[in-house]
Structure 1
Amino acid sequence: MESDFSDSVESGLKLAKRVYNGKDRFVSAPKPLPAMDKFPLSRPTYLPTALMVYAVISDPAIVDNPDIPSYQPHVHGRCDPPVLIPLQMNEIGMEVDCDLDTAFVKVKGSWRVHCVMGSRSCDCQFVVPMGEQGSILGVEVDIHRKSFSTQLMRMEETQDLEKTVKSENGGMLGPQMFCLTIPQVDGGSVLSINVSWSQRLMYSEGQFSVSVPFNFPEYIVPPGKRFPTKERIQLNVDTGIGKEVMCKTTSHPLKEKRRQVGKLFFSYEADVITWSSTDFHFSYMVPLSDILGGLLLQSPSVDDFDQREIFCLYLFPGNTKNRKVFRKEVIFLVDISGSMRGKPLENAKIALTAALFKLTPVDSFSIIAYNGEIHVFSSSLELATMEIIEKATKWMSDTCVAGGETNILTPLNEAMEMLSDSDDSITQIFLVTDGAVEDERNICQMIKDRTDSRGSRCPRISTFGIGLYCNHYFLRMLALIGRGHYDSAYDADLIVIRIQRLFTTASSPILANITIDIFDQNDAFEVYPFPIPDLSSECPLLLSGRYEGNFPDSFEAKGIFADTSNTVIDLKVLRAKDITLDKIFAKRQIDILTAQAWFSGSKQLEETVAKMSIRTGVTSEYTRMVLLETDKQKLALESAGLKEAKKIGKRKKAASQEPKKMPLHGLSIGFGNVAATNENTPSGFGELKLTESDIIYEKTSRCCHKLSCCCCCCPCCINVCSKMNDQCVIFVTQLCVALSCLGCMVCVEGCCPDDN
């Protein structure tokens, strides 16, 4: 999908050469990437690296300057699929609020439909690349005659709308990339867009960092004489723990506005000729010599359906350089079923090999590769010496070959039997899979029974899901029961870095078996996540939830260090003032509650998730995002009571004032696909193998691109070819070569780079 999108933008940039801007100034395609000179086979990617808006062009004849109509050669046919022409950006501003471990991002800008005749219209699509674990919260679009906004509704309320919905209305274009289509925007119109989303802050060695895509390409800058325009960034930091904050790095020249204990306020505003060419990045830290904990309280808002008090308990690892870590006993479970063939399995093996080299010689491990059967590296745990790790790496290379079905229960049982109780080590299971199985609830119940019987000595279970066919809520529930961590990758290229990060976080506990007395003694507390995970040196531990009754002014958290010594941490209770705890923890609570609802089959939990989703704006499995379209001109007529409005009947008038609703797809991941897993359907990664007809079409498309650039109708030629049979395609190819020999090649070489 991302490759198709990039190709559509590339074709759109070529088609945009039709746009005449006066005095022989044309919109030019972007310069090739520097790497292309060294690697001729590589191609530039046109995936957005910041909020971008595109004109969706099906009819190339409508492409022209809306202000300066010019003579254009006639074109035949249509673009199928449509091409995407990036719109020119007039202004941009961004506000980032970093609260605890979450960043809330708001971006506001305006774009002009500069490439469509003033008398014609086209759909406009905008794409929002988000940061780490991004979740779209809302979109508002304003045009001179219409306005659009997003809203979350219950699934059952959108069933009647499904019959009229178009799949291209919007959804997720790729990992962390939200897209939305605004229908029928007139040429020359200006779109004012406000979009907001949340994303997680990264944490490493005591340092928080936020990274927001803010890298704009040159070709969205309006051509001609350029006047300076404003580029704005506002950054607010609230650590929530009342300790001094130290700034570390920044990508843009931020100016400090003011500073308070635990809070920072920055702004950046500049007159620019070209837009930002680098992502926004900012990092900071709270210097701590030891583990720091506390608890924040907040009363619910008036419109909150749950009127219980809100709390957040935090534990920060502090300086861990001289702190002893637990000895590790680890078993890796890696899926080698047929659907893992290719990049998913190869990248998983690379990540597991890197994880092995992070173990110390006092740690021990084994590996279980599973499909319909299990293949065990060693029936007992082996010390992680260099010799054994190299042996294990070779074993994975020889044994981990994709094929067969998926069976998760058998390898889990085998791993549980291999791990023994130990006072000076943390036993861990790392499960990697891309499939869903039918006995997932039974697996969770089995693990729950075993962990309940073994108590704090139970193995920690961390899970990693690959692709869309595995049940990510099953994996999340398994990690929740096993006091471990969960992560996922919906792109094969992200598997290595995410598995490594999951292993680093889960295998670095500095405080284990954490208990909070007031949670155990009072049933009025609802805590997420629970059971309480260990505190890792690689990330803070944050617990959230609701409670009834009175909270003490202080209480204690207890745990055990790697040297088996017990510790008690005093926790003070404070009131949270400037941050909204329910919105910070909305996404993680929704994910946990959804996993619990799946496991228990509770309709009450599903209803709770739906209410929480609608109130906080975070998408869920039980709600659907809907695009609302409001005709401002019609509303103005009706409110003014003009004759045209008076003719409308009362019922029809009331209906006409309702915004048009268009459901958006692809914002939920579902609960796995057992049928696709049983059929060993690939996870959707990699390129599909081309048929012979596809190869002929691809070659012809390249020829059409070269021949027609002088008249700027290459996308049209390509899509005409796509409707032909193989013999016609071959004929067109021969015709293009013949015409090139008659003299077109000179024109081609002057206006188009060679695609070969």
Structure 2
Amino acid sequence: MKIGSIKQICLPIIILFLIFLAASPATSAQPLVVDYMDIDVDINNGYVITTVEEKLTNQMDDAVFDDFSIFLPEEAFISGFSIIIDGEEYKSSVLPKEEASEKFEEATSEGKTAGLLETEDRNRFAYALSFEPHQSIVVRLTYEQALKKALGEYEYTQFLRSDHDVNNLSVNISISSVNKILSLDTPGFTGANVEYLSITDGQVTYNADSLPDSDLTVVFTTNNPPLTGDILFYEIDDQGYMMHVFSPTEEDLGTTALSKDIIFVIDKSGSMRGVKIDQVKRVFTNIIYGLPSNDRFNVIFFDGYVHTYSNQLMQVNSSTKKKSIEFVNELDADGSTNINDALVTALRMFENESENVPIIVFLTDGEPTAGVTSPYMIRENIKETNTAEVSIFTIAFGIDQESYYDFLKGMSLENYGKAERFYLADDSEEGIGDFYQTISTPLITDMKFTYSGQVLEKNGKSSYNGQVSEIVNTGKNNLFAGSDAIVLGKYRPGTHTVTSMVEATTRTGKQDFTGQVTVISKEENAFIPRLWAYTTINDLMNRIEVEGETEELVSSVTDLSLEFGFVTPYTSLFVEIPDATTTDEVEKMVSDEMEPVDEACVEAEIPTEEVDSEAAEEALPGFEIIYSIVGMMAVACLLLRRRN
């Protein structure tokens, strides 16, 4: 499937630029430098808005084309892009994907300069520009994400990478929290300045005349909210938005974590041979060794067949841990991949009446190739077998193909869990181990959140008709030690108080957590509407992973994306540079400086990388990061200069 095509383009210079943009590598002699890269990050109660601004300069005496990349976190998405040429800023607009494509086709067919930014690649925002001799262009990009608290910490990583030399780098990261900041650090990174501005505010700055050798990771911790949680409010345009942070600790609850029934289901097929299986053995040896004595566990390896350590769940003790670790380290990688039978076998070992929290940790590196190989049938079989409501947490190890990862992600989501992707690298063992730690200590389960609002009427009387609606929850049903559940919703302006009620199960049984707070809308909470939209879109996209692209779900994602200005798989950014110069004038300018182009080139299709159309159709859309094609900037520079 091609990314796109531009047909019937009348100007030869435009055709040549588009072909270069799609197919050519960047100029190799480093004619362009990044005069400065300014990165400004605002972290407000875990919601992050990052703005990256670069000034790019052509050092050569000749006009040049070049392309650039900005790396982003996988969970982030772009909300703004603009370029500044000769002091004039051109901002992009978020449009439905088809409308943006139509506008782009229309603009280019009329000889106008335009750019189309669409969802394509993870982790990289790429764009291409054309520069006149010694010309400078400023590029500004904004993206947003929500941090997840894990093991009591918030972690943010700022990528510090570029395809070109950077002469001046400035990073400013501001952290604000409704709770007291206990610690703020940049582990493994030297040269950054960490400063505590107040009891609830901190700042990390870094300045250099070149890019460092590593990315900048910021880790901070805060005081926990009270037992019933913190509730923040913000009102805008006759609409109220609420954020409830619920994060009790074992100390708050006066009890210890829940015991769990856990089965490790590990792929040992031929593709796991070598470094992968060696890393897996070391990781799971450490995990099994650290299991608490109140848990029950089992280990299952699979290739084309299923290899179980025991036919049933075993109580954790020194003997069962020692023997199961020996079982892990004796197996070699070989054979095909029978995902269906391995997971069905594991699920049948759980007891519906058990009071322990049921968990499967499932690791695989590839597609199903034995037994039932249809991803749809595997998901159906797993869902039907999972009568004990087992949470399946999937480790996708070294999986690059999106359709396979989407299959694993969808299967995990519809079975009370989630999937995380890990690549084969020096730190993959640590990453997998950390992922397990985040889900190894269930503190609360079966959580249910309800809210009621009390409204003061004009006669001074109060009534409970301030219902909180359109609620979305990041924590789902379970809460693990060191994490938090964030619940967002809308309320009616004029609501005086909101009562929160959380029903949940802890080690001591059923508990209710009820609190009442006065509604006070504060300006520092202006991020809440965007966090609500971000979280709601993520929730809808997860439903699409499970239910497919229904008209209702796609429409909801599109409408919210347009309302809040987010780029998703169903929206695109479109930028157009106004052009008052006539086609005849442009043709004359071009003919003065370029060789004639054969008329056969007037109808052209951009050569792009081929993508498997069947795989693309099967892949359910993820909330992936943007790969952007900003085309046609060559004409803009030429037109603006010539017109002046």
TM-score greater than 0.5 by the shorter chain? yes
1:580-591 alignment to 2 at 5 Å?
580-591=527-538
2: CA distance between counterparts of 1:512 and 1:561?
A: 7
After TM superposition, list the pairs within 5 Å mapping 1:242-261 onto structure 2.
242-249=178-185, 252-253=192-193, 259=198
Determine if contact 1:331/1:365 at 8 Å carries over to the other structure. Answer: yes
- Give the 3 Å change call, closer, same or farther, for CA 643–181 of structure 1 in structure 2: closer
Distance 2:235 2:97 in 1: 30
Aligned-partner Cα distance in 1 for 2:607–2:482: 37
State the Cα distance separating 1:204 from its structure 2 match. 4.8
Shift in Å at residue 113 of structure 1? 2.0
SS at 2:344's partner residue?
A: helix
Cα deviation per residue 1:368-394 (whole Å; 9 max; x = unaligned)? 233443222221123344554444344
Deviation per residue, 1:33-71 (Å, 9 max, x gap): xxxxxxxxxxxxxxxxxxxxxxx9x9xxxxxxxxxxxxx
Is the 8 Å Cα contact of residues 292 and 318 (structure 1) preserved in structure 2? no
Distance change in 2, residues 1:527/1:403 (3 Å):
farther
Deviation, 1:566, is: 3.3
Q: 1:395 aligns with which of 310, 313, 327?
A: 327
More helix by share: 1
- Residue 198 of structure 1, CA deviation: 2.6
Decide whether aligned partners of structure 1 residues 312 and 287 sit closer, same or farther in structure 2, where only a CA change above 3 A counts. Answer: closer
Aligned to 2:348, the other structure's residue is in SS state helix
Distance in 1 separating the partners of 2:25 and 2:218: 42
1:359 to 291, 294, 305: 291
From 55, 61, 67, give the equivalent of 1:125. Answer: 67
Partner residue, 1:496: 429
1:484 alignment partner, one of 407, 417, 420: 417
Is 1:507–2:440 an aligned residue pair? yes
Work out whether residues 141 and 191 of structure 1, in 8 Å CA contact, stay in contact via their aligned partners in 2.
yes
Choose the corresponding residue for 1:593, options 521, 540, 547: 540
Task: Report the secondary structure of 1:401's partner residue.
Answer: coil
1:610 corresponding residue in structure 2: 558
SS of 1:206's partner is coil
1:179 equivalent to 2:123? Answer: no
Shift of 1:418: 0.3
State the alpha-carbon separation in 2 of the partners of residues 566 and 483 from structure 1.
21
Identify unmatched segments of 5+ residues in structure 1.
1-55, 59-77, 222-228, 648-661, 677-756
Determine whether 1:543 maps to 2:506: no
What is the Cα deviation at residue 187 of structure 1? 3.4
Residue identity in the other structure for 1:212: Q
CA distance in 1 between counterparts of 2:105 and 2:338 reads 34
- Once residues 256 and 530 of structure 1 are traced to their aligned partners in structure 2, the CA distance between those partners, rounded to angstroms, is 29
Q: Is the 8 A contact 2:37 2:166 kept in 1?
A: no
Relative distance call for 1:176 and 1:670 in structure 2 (3 A) is farther
Matches within 5 A, 1:288-687: 288=224, 291-299=227-235, 310-318=241-249, 324-337=256-269, 340=272, 345-399=277-331, 401-408=333-340, 410-421=341-352, 424-433=355-364, 434-435=366-367, 439-441=374-376, 444=379, 458-465=389-396, 466-489=399-422, 495-518=428-451, 525-529=469-473, 532-546=476-490, 553-564=498-509, 566-570=511-515, 572=517, 574-575=519-520, 577=522, 578=524, 579-601=526-548, 602-623=550-571, 625-626=572-573, 628-630=575-577, 634-635=579-580
Q: Secondary structure at the match of 1:326?
A: coil
Q: Which residue number in structure 2 is paired with residue 238 of structure 1?
A: 176
Query: What's the CA shift for 1:201?
Result: 3.4
CA–CA distance in 1 between the matches of 2:614 and 2:47? 26
- Measured in 1, the distance between the counterparts of 2:270 and 2:248 equals 41
Query: What's the CA shift string for 1:249-305, capped at 9, x where partnerless?
Result: 356335566x4x7x42648597x6667676445443322386451334444658xxx
SS at match of 2:30: strand
Distance 1:126 1:547 in 2: 43
Question: C-alpha displacement at 1:98, in angstroms?
Answer: 0.9
Residue segments in structure 2 that go unaligned for 5+ positions in a row? 1-17, 110-114, 453-463, 589-604, 620-644
Deviation at 1:559, TM superposition (A): 1.9
Q: Tell me: CA distance 1:331–1:617, structure 2 relative to 1, closer, same or farther (3 Å).
A: farther
Residue aligning to 1:21: none
> Could you say which residue in structure 2 is the equivalent of 1:89?
34
User: 2: distance between equivalents of 1:295 and 1:670?
Assistant: 46
Residues 630 and 665 (structure 1), Cα distance of their counterparts in 2 relative to 1, 3 Å cut: farther
The 3 A distance-change label for structure 1 pair 481 and 172 is closer
Give the share of equivalent positions with the same residue, in percent. Answer: 16
Instruction: Describe the SS at the equivalent of 1:83.
Output: coil
| 173 and 253 in structure 1: CA distance in 2 versus 1, 3 angstrom threshold | farther
2:482 & 2:614 partners in 1: Cα distance? 30
For residues 154-165 of structure 1, the aligned pairs below 5 Å read: 154-157=96-99
Report the number of matched residues: 549
Q: Is the 8 A contact 2:449 2:502 kept in 1?
A: yes
Q: Give the SS at the match of 1:503.
A: helix
Larger Rg: 1
Tell me how far 1:605 sits from its aligned partner.
0.5
Match of 1:192 among 138, 147, 159: 138
CA contact (8 A) 2:503 2:513 kept: yes
Q: Is the 8 A contact 2:57 2:137 kept in 1?
A: yes
- CA distance in 2 between partners of 1:315 and 1:179 (Å): 38
Structure 1 letter corresponding to 2:71: P
Look up the equivalent residue of 1:193 and give its one-letter code.
V
What is aligned with 1:69? none
The answer as to whether partners of 1:102 and 1:199 remain within 8 angstroms in 2 is yes
Q: In 1, distance between residues paired with 2:138 and 2:615?
A: 38
Residue 108 of structure 1 is matched in structure 2 by: 53
Deviation per residue, 1:186-221 (Å, 9 max, x gap): 232212121222344364553334332347899543
Q: Partners in 1 of 2:220 and 2:612 — Cα distance?
A: 33
Higher RCO by CA contacts (8 Å cutoff, separation 6 or greater): 2
Separation in structure 2 between the aligned mates of residue 665 and residue 539 of structure 1, nearest angstrom: 43
One-letter identity of the residue aligned with 1:128: I
Say if 1:526 and 1:486 are closer, same or farther in 2 by CA, change over 3 A. farther
1:14 corresponds to? none
Deviation at 1:438, TM superposition (A): 6.5
**C-alpha separation in 2, matches of 1:150 and 1:371:** 50
Give 2:201's match in structure 1, choosing from 259, 264, 271: 264
User: Aligned-residue CA RMSD in angstroms?
Assistant: 4.8
Matches of 1:349 and 1:528, distance apart in 2? 38
CA distance in 2, matches of 1:675, 1:131: 25
What is the rounded CA distance, in whole Å, between the counterparts of 1:573 and 1:205 in structure 2?
Answer: 31
Query: Retained in 1: the 8 A contact 2:33–2:57?
Result: yes
Q: Which residue identity lines up with residue 229 of structure 2 in the other structure?
A: G
Equivalent residues of 2:243, 2:487 under 8 A apart? yes
The amino acid that maps onto 2:440 is S
1:377-428 Cα shifts (integer Å, max 9, x gaps): 22112334455444434434444524324443x3332222101246652111
